[in-house]
Every structure is written in C-alpha cells, then in structure tokens.
Amino acid sequence: MSKQKPLVVVTRKLPAVVETRMRELFDARLNLDDEPMSPAALVEAVRTAEVLVPTVTDRIDARLIAQAGDQLKLIANFGNGIDNIDVASAVQRGITVTNTPGVLTDDTADMTIALILAVARRISEGARVIPDTDWAGWSPTWMLGRRITGKRLGIVGMGRIGQAVARRALAFGLSIHYHNRRRVDPAIEEKLDATYWDSLDQMLARMDIVSVNCPHTPATYHLLSARRLKLMKPDAILVNTARGEIVDETALARMLEAGELAGAGLDVFESEPAINPRLLKLARQHRIVVLPHMGSATHEGRAEMGEKVIVNIKTFMDGHKPPNRVLPSML
C-alpha cells in the first residue's frame, strides 16, 4: 500500500514548475487566484493542513498558530525572511519552521545596485522623458545626476546579500564599509576591501550611500531611526532592499521633503502593500525611486525557492531534519 500524500496548503500562486512538482509529490491545495488568503481562510488552512506554505504577505502570528490543528507539523516558508512567522510560538506547538536561504542573494544584490544607480543617475526619471514628453534634445546642464565611482558605500548587514552587494559595488569603484552585529572573517574583509565600523552611528555620518541589507528582527525594527537618519550627510542616498520595518519611513519622508537627504531607493515598505502617502508623493515628484518589492523577482530565483520548499517538505515528511530549519535562537 502506498503512503498517503501529506496535505500541503499553499497560500499564494507559485511558478507553474513548482506547482506541478508539488501536485506530483503532495496532496497540494494551491491558491490559483493569487489573492492573499483572508484571515478566515488562513485559520481553515492551519486547522486542516499537515504542511503550510506561506509567503511574506501572510502573517503567521501567535494567535493564528494557537488555532492550528494537531496535524500541522511544518510551516515551510516560501522565502528567506521569516519575520512574517512567530517562530517561537510555532516551536512551542511542536511545529517545525523552514525557509529558503541563499537562492535570492544575487537577485537582491542586483536590485540593490540597480537602485543605487537609479537614484544617483536619475534613471527612472529619465526613462519617462521620451515616452511622456516632447524631448528637446541633449543639453549640457540637463538631468545631471551623481557619480558613484569613488564614493563610500555603507552596508548595514554583511550577510550573504550584503557581501554580494559589496562584490558588485567594487566593480563600480565604490569604497566598501559595513556595520554588522558580528565582524566578518578577516579573509572576507580582505577580499572585499571592506572596512568594519563597530559604531553604526559613526558609519552613517561618513557614508555617501547607505544600503540596508540586514534581516528584520525585533532588534532591527527602526534600526535606522529618526535620530540615526539625521546623522547621514545631506547629499547621501539611502537604499533599502531588506525590510521596510528597518527604516523609520515617517522620519525618512520628512528628511527627504526638507532636502536633508539627496534621495532614496526603496523596494520594501513598512505597511506594504500600503505605501506612506508622503513617500508616494516624493516618488511622483521623481525625488525618490520606489519599486513594488521585486528584489527577488526572477524566474530562476522563484523556481529555486520553490525547489527548496519542496526539499524541506519531503525531507521532513520522510522523518528527517529539513535542511533549512529555523530556530528561535537563530533570530
């Protein structure tokens, strides 16, 4: 007699290649409409599923986990960041949590560099000139941006993504600086020609460009607070491809409006998909560049994420520890 396939509930539409594979291996309940599950639907999912596959748009908090049925044994997150999941509550209920680390490193680093260039060289603003206006032609003083070669880049969070950003930034002639909760290996510092700053405050005050690449945890909520943002130079640029909650958006908007920062490139937001109206106004004025959380949006990356989810589920259901298990102590 063949072993019964586990009931796997997937909260969002995934790439076709991933959904096909899930149907082959599991009793997969897919979200074909690609609309976020309602709170009631999420409750029903945790009450019936053996495995839940959420994404960053799903809040798997303590209240939801408390309503889970005893059959729910695995939350296999489709994503690297797990700030959408109350891992401690899950573990207390005997539920294993996994994520998909590593596969989005290059994609997110690429987008970080793209945002740096877009802000410094006014690329998104310039891209609308020919389609939307009657372009009068080249002018020596028009659409002037900022050169990035020779500038100081301060990376907040020197993990996989931060290091990938540094590797790319070196090719543009940027000077690499970083702040991290732990200093990285000296060999990595040497390879990246990176300068470590124990004081985030001191680093922020010296940088021309600041890139946020750390995870969102209780310790990093509003890490770039109003006080810290005010330490930045008025001609500096801030780029955030990590999580919106790490930056105090209200303070950021206020400084940009006052001309106390040169610009910002944002791929993530505190209350997404809702956007701070002041940031939206700045974007419409071409004073900042905003993207709809697309740092990891590549065909290759999303397929690899799905494969990691499948491996985590299959390994767990076969009675082994999944390769990408997340523990509260890791946060």
Q: What angle do CA 92, 103, 325 make, to 5 degrees?
A: 20
Beta partners for residue 265, in sequence order: 239, 289
Provide the b/e sequence for 118-128 (b: ≥16 CB within 10 Å). Answer: bbbbbebbeee
CB atoms under 10 Å from CB of 162, counted, come to 28
Cis peptide leading into 323, omega within 30 of 0? no
Helix (H, G, I), strand (E, B) or coil at 267: coil
329: which DSSP letter? G
How many CA within 13 A on the CB side of residue 262? 20
Our CA angle for 286, 292, 296, nearest 5°, is: 125
Rounded CA-CA distance 305/38 in Å is 24
In the chain, the amino acid numbered 208 is D
Phi and psi torsions of 63, nearest 5°: -65, -40
Long-range contacts of 165-168 (CB under 8 A, 24+ apart): 165/109, 165/112, 165/113, 165/211, 165/213, 166/192, 166/194, 167/109, 167/192, 168/109, 168/110, 168/112, 168/113
Strand order in the sheet with 175-179: 194-196, 175-179, 152-156, 209-212, 237-240, 263-266, 289-290
43: closest CA among 22, 72, 23? 72
Active-site residue set: 243, 272, 293
